[in-house]
């Protein structure tokens, strides 16, 4: 951030951190973006036009995901219109928490190691023979705009494959969460802003990003407020949203693995911006047998193992989950 952008960000953090200042900022209602810029310029003794430019959606403050100035169609005082990425951020910053992972821990979290191995994905060997060296080269060169889309039925190991890829590259993985620390769901647009913030904060690190459950992000499930905006502004709002997502896919600093259960709702304009779109299906029968054997152990005899493996919809995670349940109560089963 420039000194001017840092000053604006500092003010917005303090506004949300201190009740008295917050109350004052509630009073001017329904200001246009230019009027908000004028107010900030007077308060902070900054050039008016530069403040206005800094609040625009294509400017650095918004692109980093740290904060946004909501558009003129949104109502409310400055406290509503100048929105930080995370409501927990003001408290953490005013308490001198210095690590970026602490600033964002309710929406961006360090990923866990994978509990699967490459042998669990032998049915994807041909695809992985391309994907693994490509990701390795992208990380070595610091290539931007690297995106991979994994899709397939629930329980086929898509998320674990993403984690395994990060381990294979010898880099950290950061997860874009689906719910905050209070277990409240995070909207699709806010998750995209969290992705932008993670790219800004960790761009200098050897890292990758996992963006799981992306259906609502690339689809149209953005809540009633966004729906009303689309109804009011029609094609322009939809076009602006599509352009925003396209820019994210073209400019992200860190390789991102996007995970979904299907391709349904994925706009072709988004799909063509992925370097690879890879289906992760239920493994073939021979591999299903091995997974069942490993998970079931002494709980399952050979004939039951073969019978279960016949199911072409039996995902590995379902086997593991069922085994865990039975193991917990096996003594009571007699």
Query: pLDDT tens, 85-97?
Result: 888 888 888 876 6
pLDDT value for 235: 42
pLDDT value for 123: 92
Q: Are 8 and 15 in contact (CB under 8 A)?
A: no
What is the distance between the alpha carbons of residues 255 and 146, in angstroms, rounded to a whole number?
Answer: 5
- Do strands 67-69 and 82-84 pair parallel, antiparallel, or not at all (unpaired)? antiparallel
Higher pLDDT, 238 or 108: 108
Residue 158's CB is within 10 A of a number of other CB atoms, namely 23
Query: pLDDT tens, 8-45?
Result: 999 999 999 999 999 999 887 888 999 999 999 999 99
Residue 204 makes CB contacts below 8 A (sequence gap 6+) with: none
Q: Are 314 and 308 in contact (CB under 8 A)?
A: yes
- Please give the share of the chain, as a percent, with pLDDT higher than 90: 47
pTM of the model: 0.81
Helix, strand, coil distribution of the chain in percent, nearest 5: 55, 10, 35
If you count them, how many residues does the chain have? 334
Mean pLDDT of 234-255: 74
φ and ψ at 13, to 5 degrees? -60, -45
The overall average pLDDT reported for the chain is: 85
What are the tokens at 26?
Answer: 């509630």
Residue 78's CB is within 10 A of a number of other CB atoms, namely 23
What is the distance between the alpha carbons of residues 243 and 254, in angstroms, rounded to a whole number?
Answer: 20
Residue 239's CB is within 10 A of a number of other CB atoms, namely 11
Tell whether the model's pLDDT for residue 221 goes beyond 80: no
Residue 334 pLDDT class (50, 70, 90 cuts): low
What are the tokens at 324?
Answer: 């865990």
What are the tokens at 79?
Answer: 């406290």
pLDDT value for 206: 94
């Amino acid at each position: 951030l420039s000194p001017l952008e840092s000053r604006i960000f500092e003010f917005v953090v303090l506004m949300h951190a201190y009740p008295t200042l917050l109350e004052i900022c509630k009073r001017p209602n329904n200001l246009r973006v230019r009027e908000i810029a004028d107010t900030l310029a007077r308060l902070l003794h900054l050039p008016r036009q530069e403040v206005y430019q800094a609040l625009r959606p294509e400017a650095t403050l918004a692109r980093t995901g740290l904060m946004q100035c909501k558009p003129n169609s949104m109502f409310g005082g400055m406290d509503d219109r100048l929105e930080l990425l995370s409501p927990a951020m003001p408290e953490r910053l005013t308490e001198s928490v210095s690590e970026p992972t602490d600033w964002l821990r309710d929406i961006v979290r360090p990923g866990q190691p994978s509990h699967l191995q490459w042998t669990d994905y032998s049915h994807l060997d041909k695809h992985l023979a391309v994907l693994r060296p490509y990701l390795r080269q992208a990380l070595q060169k610091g290539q931007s705009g690297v995106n991979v889309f994994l899709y397939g039925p629930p329980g086929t190991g898509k998320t674990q494959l993403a984690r395994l890829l990060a381990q294979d590259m010898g880099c950290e993985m950061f997860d874009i969460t689906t719910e905050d620390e209070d277990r409240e769901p995070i909207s699709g647009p806010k998750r995209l802003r969290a992705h932008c913030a993670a790219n800004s904060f960790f761009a200098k690190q050897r890292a990758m990003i996992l963006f799981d459950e992306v259906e609502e992000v690339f689809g149209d499930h953005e809540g009633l407020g966004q729906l009303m905006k689309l109804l009011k502004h029609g094609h322009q709002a939809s076009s602006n949203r599509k352009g925003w997502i396209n820019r994210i896919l073209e400019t992200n600093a860190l390789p991102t693995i996007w995970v979904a259960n299907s391709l349904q709702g994925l706009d072709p304009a988004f799909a063509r911006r992925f370097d690879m779109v890879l289906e992760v299906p239920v493994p073939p029968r021979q591999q299903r047998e091995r997974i069942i054997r490993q998970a079931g152990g002494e709980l399952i005899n050979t004939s039951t193992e073969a019978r279960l493996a016949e199911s072409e919809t039996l995902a590995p995670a379902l086997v593991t989950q069922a085994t865990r349940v039975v193991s917990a109560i096996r003594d009571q089963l007699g």
